[in-house]
Structure 1
């Protein structure tokens, strides 16, 4: 697949839909601030590079994980579906909406309600039509009931409510909340695209959602996972007859393990179990050097027969959904 956005090598026009990676980093993002304000000796090479190379040419510069689905319907109309709106959302808009000419957000889907997935919700107003009285159509946002309960505490002013006598109207993001279930048998439709919830464990006390979408080309997006629930693993595994064309999967550190995230050893084990045709990894800390570690992954891919690479911010993957 040509990920450059150009015409394919066979001369055919590129697919009309696309995935755009707005962010591929962990919650603290990369560069890690502590590496810059309290540098080690020698300094962190990945974080130091961020000071000398412009972010748009630096695949090691990573904002919070977020994916934009540019979904082109059969009539040629484009709908833009955003998965997660984290702490770095405004930066992602300035950098990648402008670069890829994304005019708006038609729907939002949340994996969970942690800071790196929701704290940019207030900034949604920056990509909505201006109205000082909030007299605009709200953007639908799909989330679990557990996430809704948490967001209502974090952002009470983003929930629709009647004004008290004498209370001023204040311009804030206009959102329409839609509850979805933690069940792969309960799909939903966002801006014309069918998505299937994929519940996974994000620590043993917390369920996070991934999402499966695409009829012609099956994509699963799983950004925060420490263990697969058996029903979800079965639903997206090659052995069950549901082989994925692309799996986008969490990988926090290069070595060892973590209580709430996959690290590279667990990620690679999961890929061997699920056996997707292709995988792109997200959620990386500053331990990962994009160029060096993709060399390792190319060797692993040749050995295991699964094409896997680290994704990077701004990556556009054209496909037909």
Structure 2
């Protein structure tokens, strides 16, 4: 945890990385119960320090946007609530004193993005308030999630459910189209459709007026229209790009995410002012890779580093 992060101005917007890991998280359960010889270095290191001070401990990829409006009122928007959402709430909501969630955005319906939806009841504005949390997703994503969580789409709750701990959301349908923005809790977002495997479309999101941020957590290939939409050449230079980098090397059997070389090539094409990488598996030693990235950034003229769970970035949105 960088010194002074928690003490950032309460009258400023900020991004908080709730999770920066792959679907299985880090450490990997397999590395712990079926250790290799020698043992997995990163998974071993991730257990040696408390997660608060351990950038090699990674929950499912998720971002919290603390949006401070002109009147200094804060709205809290979460992108993706995966399998480790409850742990992220206990760890980072308490640390940064986040009181609630006002809106949720889903990039897609895979387990590492939606299986924490049932825990949304604990982050509602008031414990006994039955107002549903607005949840923004594509129609395909909604259809898939409702099959797994049918109670999330109930129009009316029973008396027992009202007084109990039942999650309820207000579905807001968004499009796979960069040219169709939407507003969530007062902040405008542009959907960024990307390929997550060659037969599946996931979303990233572009947001911010004073500071332009693109968040793309699950991508194996950019459609040309999406890449052009966020590229410097279009005149929309990003202040911050948050980008997927699942594996260190190319894996021919798993082409649903960028690997490290593909991520860096995309950064060079898009040319943002700053890039933070997310979605890392257990092949990434945080300190070692960031040392390499400092040299790469100096050589290429664009700043890139690995993010880590709990990282807070104050900025003006």
Give matches, 1:127-142, under 5 Å.
127-128=123-124, 129-131=126-128, 136-142=130-136
Offset of residue 4 of structure 1: 4.5
Structure 1 residue 161 displacement after superposition: 3.9
Are 2:5 and 1:5 aligned?
yes
SS of equivalent residue, structure 2 residue 47: helix
Separation in structure 1 between the aligned mates of residue 236 and residue 11 of structure 2, nearest angstrom: 22
Aligned-residue Cα RMSD (Å) equals: 1.9
Shift of the alpha carbon at 1:316?
A: 0.1
1:233 pairs with 2:223: no
1:126 offset after TM fit, Å?
1.4
1:276 aligns to 2:272 (yes or no): yes
What's 1:122 paired with?
118
Which deviations, in whole Å up to 9, do the C-alpha atoms of 1:97-151 show, x marking residues without a partner? 00111000000000001000000000111122333xxx52111000000101101
Partner of 1:112: 108
1:147 aligns with 2:141: yes
Structure 1 residue 255, shift from structure 2 partner: 1.2
In structure 2, do the counterparts of structure 1 residues 276 and 15 end up closer, same or farther at CA, with 3 Å as the change threshold?
A: farther
Structure 1 residues 163 and 214, CA gap change in structure 2 (3 angstroms): closer
Tell me if 1:249 matches 2:243: yes
- TM-score normalised to structure 1 length: 0.93
After superposition, the Cα gap between the structure-2 partners of 1:86 and 1:6, relative to the gap in structure 1 and judged at 3 Å, is: closer
The TM-score with structure 2 as length reference comes to 0.94
Please report how far the alpha carbon of residue 6 of structure 1 lies from its aligned counterpart in structure 2 after TM superposition: 7.3
- Residues 48-67 of structure 1 correspond to what in structure 2 (within 5 A)? 48-67=44-63
- Listed as ranges, the gaps of 5+ residues in structure 2 are none
Q: Which residue of 1 aligns with 2:174?
A: 180
The reply to whether residue 189 of structure 1 matches residue 183 of structure 2 is yes
Structure 1: 5+ residue stretches without partners: none
Q: Distance in 2 between matches of 1:53 and 1:46?
A: 12
Deviation readout 1:70-112 (Å, 9 max, x if unpaired)? 0000000000000000000000000000011100000000000
Match of 2:26 in 1: 30
Aligned to 1:82: 78
**Matched residue SS, 2:46:** helix
Is the partner of 2:44 in helix, strand or coil?
A: helix
Partner SS for 2:141: helix
The Cα shift of 1:240 comes to 1.0
Equivalent in the alignment of 2:13: 17
Q: 1:56 to 1:230 in 2, by over 3 A?
A: same
Alpha-carbon distance between aligned partners in 2 of 1:296 and 1:53, rounded to the nearest angstrom: 23
**1:158-201: per-residue Cα shift (whole Å, max 9, x none)?**
1124579xx96464102101000000110000000000000000
